[in-house]
Amino acid sequence: MTDTQAPPVRTPESNDEALLRVEDLRVHFPTGDGLVKSVDGLSFSLRRGEILGIVGESGSGKSVTSQAILGLHKGSKARVSGSIWFEGTDLVAASEHEMRAFRGDQMAMIFQDPLSAMHPFFKIGDQIAEAYLVHNKVSKRDARQRTIEMLQKVGIPNAAGRYDDYPHQLSGGMRQRAMIAMALICRPKLLIADEPTTALDVTVQAQILELIKDLRDELDSAVILITHDLGVVAETCDQVVVMYGGQAVEQGSVAELFAQPEMPYTWGLLASMPRMDRVRSTRLMPIPGSPPSLINVPNGCVFNPRCRFSDRVPGRKCFTEHPELSPTTGSASPLAVHEVRCHIPAEERQQILLTEIRPTL
């Protein structure tokens, strides 16, 4: 039973410093068709100044996780269990009233599509200032001043003039910058960016990611970056959680995970990623099949219907027994924690990676 599973082993100092510790988080939505297990037993932790990437396909539970951290499921039909420790407070147990004090102030979120995430009828400046005014007893004038400073900081030219613009008058990149200004105006300790660059074109993507990194450095915030793009993770993040079917299937430091990926799903993600730094020898390899139903989760390993390697495991273990998330043996450094959820024996995994996967990447 994963319910009774102890939290993942961390090094002592990281455990103490953790700003955010998610333990066995489950978010289930009762629907007419059955219980949708959007997130089912997720654990990770994050220190200040760190950027954690959460990677996965659509419907893997990334966004639901981030909304659970902000407590946005409260008041809905969602059933949230487990715990989310944020500086000594369990956010899962916290009331809506308590959460409100955290939201926007201690933790803030950048949403995927800034056009739909900003109110079409309010000036962007007022929308940003509103976030500041909720948590700070200041005059509207001071809030306006602060907003203009923030707009300048995120690189919006003529910030004072842009204050009175409406969202539809800004370009996509400028809108996302305004969204970032809104999220960071109260200097949050935790910033969650939910696919912040998906709606933007590639040149702007790089600028926005750079901006998030710079602001992280300045505020010493922890950042959760939700993406489906491993390239973004490799460039930006320190830690990474690969999610599949509402569960973490592999997690660890970015250096570790990219040097020694061990889960067939991660291999699939890597193989389907375009690489500009190498001569392309073969076609990109898509992962066959589609993400699992979150109502009828496959027995055994969630990834088994799409896994090419389930026949390498003795018996039909992949189809009958749910694999636990367990530390890998091949970690380069004893401090780096690298965990994987896979039945394939460790030596065989490394063998497959070396002989079958590596040459195709």
Partner 1 sequence: MFRFIVGRLLGAVVVLFFVSVVTFLIFQIAPLLSHTSPVYFYTGKVPFAAGSPALKALIHQYGFDLPVPVQYWQYVSGIFTGRTISDGTTVIHCTFPCLGYSFRQNELVSSLLTEAAPVSISLCVGAAVLWLVGGVLVGTVSALRPGSIVDRAGMGLSLGAVSLPIFFTGPLLLLVFEYQLGWINENYVPITQDPLGWLGSMILPWFALAFLFAALYARLTRSNMLETLGEDYMRTARAKGLDRRTVIVKHGLRAALTPIVTIFGIDFGTLIGSTVITETVFNLRGLGYLSITAISQQDLPIILGVTLVAAVALVVANVLVDITYAFIDPRVAL
Q: Does 32 bind partner 1 (CB under 8 A)?
A: no
Give residues 205-234 in contact with partner 1 (rule: CB under 8 A). Answer: none
Size, binding site for partner 1 by CB under 8 A:
29
Q: Closest by alpha carbon to 89, among 189, 239, 187, 215?
A: 189
Hunting for tokens 């195709």 — which residue is that?
360
Residues 6+ apart with CB under 8 A from 271: 284, 285, 287, 357, 360, 361
- Residue 106 CB, shortest distance to partner 1, in Å, is 9
Out of 27, 54, 68, 182, name the contact with partner 1 by CB under 8 A.
Answer: 182
Residues 6+ apart with CB under 8 A from 69: 20, 22, 84, 86, 91, 107, 190, 192, 224
Q: Does 91 bind partner 1 (CB under 8 A)?
A: no
Out of 48, 57, 72, 228, name the contact with partner 1 by CB under 8 A.
Answer: 72
CA–CA separation, 160 vs 23, rounded Å? 43
Number of neighbouring beta carbons within 10 Å of residue 218: 11
- Residue 181 CB, shortest distance to partner 1, in Å, is 12
Q: Does 70 bind partner 1 (CB under 8 A)?
A: yes
Out of 17, 24, 87, 130, name the contact with partner 1 by CB under 8 A.
Answer: 130
Q: Does 125 bind partner 1 (CB under 8 A)?
A: no
Q: Does 111 bind partner 1 (CB under 8 A)?
A: yes
The 259-298 site mask, x for binding partner 1 (CB under 8 A), equals ----------------------------------------
| CB nearer partner 1, residue 94 or residue 273 | 94
C-alpha dist (Å) from residue 124 to 13, 181, 237 = 41, 10, 29
Asked if 266 contacts 250 with a C-beta cutoff of 8 angstroms, the reply is: yes
Give the distance between the most distant pair of CA atoms in the chain. Answer: 70
Hunting for tokens 């005059």 — which residue is that?
139
Q: Does 195 bind partner 1 (CB under 8 A)?
A: no
| CB nearer partner 1, residue 121 or residue 359 | 121
The residues binding partner 1 (CB under 8 A) are: 67, 70, 72, 75, 96, 100-105, 108-109, 111, 113, 116-122, 130-131, 134-135, 166, 168, 182
